[in-house]
Structure 1
Amino acid sequence: MQQVRAVVARAKGEPVSVETINVPDPGPGEAVVRIQACGVCHTDLHYREGGINDEFPFLLGHEAAGVVEAVGQGATVEPGDFVVLNWRAVCGTCRACERGEPWYCFATFNAEQRMTLEDGTELSPALGIGAFAEKTLVHSGQCTKVDPSARPAAVGLLGCGVMAGLGAAINTGGVTRGQSVAVIGCGGVGAAAVAGAALAGASRIIAVDLDDRKLEWASNLGATHTVNSSSTDPVAAIQELTGGHGADVVIDAVGRPETWKQAFYARDLAGTVVLVGVPTPDMKVPDLPLIDVFGRGGSLKSSWYGDCLPSRDFPMLVDLYQQGRLDLDAFVTEEIDLDAVEAAFERMHHGDVLRSVVVL
């Protein structure tokens, strides 16, 4: 067992604290990873606010990259491997995996042992990772080996938000060359969806947001047009920018009933709507005439983690980053230390950053 510093959320809505925690030696299939960088994601704030569950105390952080330090018997990585952590370690045997769709795996792995506070209180690691820590314990299947020369602060973001956005465009939305794409909501996930659409060769990429700063970020990542929906009807604007038809693929990166309805009506006939923004449990699908669902055709999809397969997607995207074809550095607004996570939540809440990244 080792003792390390980590960011803990002890109670709903209370400020996080940096505490000493116990990290067990890895058991069968497990790995201890020395964290080098971890992004501050909205999901961590949801945990702190009790929006995921009430299994406090939480060990926060999950968008991370680091180096494997020790492994248990049967682990799939080795000490010294540079890895990006993922929260969907596929099992290989569930009904989704057996039908050849492991990105939908219904029985993903986490470490069996629990990290604890100094007094032995068990911690609930965010998304089974808990990486606002000098070291963390995960299942080895949550470790995806990538190019060790890559910048940890940038590639660690593939662990959640950036992969969710990129995958919403490329994997779920199936964006291809020459298509038109609209992205509603251009925070971290939406900006990544813009970058994914550009990477896939979309000819027209329309970024929609209430904040001109976010629209500027989206432009820098490949948006060809921007719409500030605080003053312009986004559905009408998207239709006007696509010859009156609507976009081939519309991605809702907000996850609210009103934005989903905008996405539904902003797409072309036989187009695709992708929901990647996460709604709260109380939100309901808006009043929508069923004839419109039938009459417009196409697909209404939700995107789980960008429908990614980490072993396939992470190394490929890191290679594209290393080649200068995917600007992951653009997502790193600031680098901070463990003590600054609470302040980073506040900046994120106000939309001041794409990502704050804890660097250890």
Structure 2
Amino acid sequence: MAQQVRGVVARGKGAAVGIETIVVPDPGPGEAVVAVQACGVCHTDLHYREGGIGEDFPYLLGHEAAGVVESVGEGVTEVGPGDFVVLNWRAVCGDCRACRRGRPWYCFATHNAAQKMTLLDGTELSPALGIGAFADKTLVAAGQCTKVDPAASPAAAGLLGCGVMAGLGAAINTGNVGRGDSVAVIGCGGVGNAAVVGARLAGAARIIAVDVDDRKLATARKLGATHTVNSRGSEPVEAIRELTGGFGADVVIEAVGRPETYQQAFYARDLAGTVVLVGVPTPEMKLELPLLDVFGRGGALKSSWYGDCLPSRDFPMLIDLYLQGRLDLDAFVTETIELADVEQAFARMRDGDVLRSVVVL
């Protein structure tokens, strides 16, 4: 029987979000209904509200979430009622050319729930990243549920669902940071600081955090950065080279998503070094680089989508590290809020006051 629950809905481009009653259908084949316990406020949700991702309003926002499976549909075997799960927005198909080649983190046919959640009048909602977790309950594809140890705090665990996994994965999976490497991270918001943590976990010897905000740089220091550069007062390429013996970093992670910071990343890496773009650019942005420099510097220019993660592999492992005290996910939770506070959380995020506001239900 369909259920009526509260959800945070964006009705139109740039309009303030509000709490509305949404209708969650019973799960169909391959689907699950999850009772949401916590959901982080991510920049992607703000992009949806601002029309930066699409115009399929109204949107049911929220996607960085953890909760408990309430019910499952026909054919679902990987999770069941009562399981504590982190939601992910890349349910792999298992059958596309990437999956068949043993690279499911590149899956080209990820999927969401087939049914739609709606408003009371029947208007279909577009769930953010196929999840829509600023709600008491949400309907997702069962493959979007990754079972993890229930001893983990929902507020911390849910952050693996997007931003923290994106940053950690950019360092560990995409950048292949190794022991003794030098790493620079440009942009130290939630994703960038997660990349700092990932570099530390991977054993990097030197981790250089770059930002224009001293508050974010102080947080980066706490999370494992060995050096910080405020690029308002220092030229970042020169500073990174100076801190790496004049050579540049082995891996540079660009967590801003702008042409000018990408160029900084390109020139701040060592010869044959790696650039990882994890910051999300907007559609109109263009990049110009001398092709001879691309050829002559060698190395690799990579993009990291969701940290090249495989949720079934990475989420349980990272939760285990968290429970062992080796991965401080709690450090990313700046504040816990209620559903009614999401609009104010967007403002705090824009002002750089938080790593993450987390809605706790």
Given the two structures, how large is their TM-score scaled by the length of structure 2? Answer: 0.99
Equivalent residue for 2:217? 215
Distance 2:31 2:352 in 1: 36
Match of 2:123 among 121, 124, 139: 121
What displacement does 1:109 show? 1.4
- What residue is the counterpart of 1:93 in the other structure? 95
Query: Would you identify which runs of 4 or more consecutive aligned residues in structure 1 move more than 3 Å?
Result: none
Query: Who is 1:26 aligned against?
Result: 27
Q: Percent identity?
A: 81
Structure 2 partner of 1:248: 250
1:8: which partner in 2?
A: 9
Aligned to 2:178, what secondary structure does the other structure show?
A: coil
Normalising to structure 1: TM-score of the pair? 0.99
In the alignment, structure 2 segments of 5+ residues that lack a partner are: none
CA deviation digits over 1:95-143, x for unaligned, max 9?
Answer: 1101111000010010000000011100000000000000000000000
Counterpart AA for 2:93: C
Give the structure 2 partner of residue 304 of structure 1.
305
**1:268 to 2:281 alignment:** no
Match of 1:258 in 2: 260
Alignment RMSD, CA only?
Answer: 0.4
Q: Deviations over 1:158-213 (max 9, x none)?
A: 00000000000000000010000000000000000000000000000000000000
State the distance in 2 between where 1:321 and 1:285 align: 38
Q: Distance in 2 between matches of 1:77 and 1:114?
A: 21
Aligned length: 359
SS in 1 for 2:8: strand
Equivalent runs, 1:194-343 vs 2, <5 Å: 194-286=196-288, 288-343=289-344
Secondary structure of 1:61's aligned partner: coil
Specify the SS of the correspondent of 1:199: helix
Superposed, 1:147-158 pairs within 5 Å as 147-158=149-160
For 1:271, the aligned partner's letter is G
Q: CA deviation at 1:90?
A: 0.3
Per the TM alignment, residue 243 of structure 1 is displaced from its structure 2 partner at its CA by 0.3
2 CA distance for matches of 1:218 and 1:154? 18
What SS class does the counterpart of residue 245 from structure 1 fall into? coil
1:74 to partner: Cα distance: 1.0
Deviations 1:45-79 (A, max 9, x none): 00000001100000000000000000001112100
Partner of 1:110: 112
Structure 2 distance, partners of 1:74, 1:347, is 42
C-alpha distance after superposition, 1:7-39 (max 9, x if no partner): 000000000000110000000010000000000
Partner of 1:69: 70
Distance (whole Å) between structure 1 residues aligned to residue 118 and residue 222 of structure 2: 42
Aligned-partner residue type, residue 138 of structure 2: T
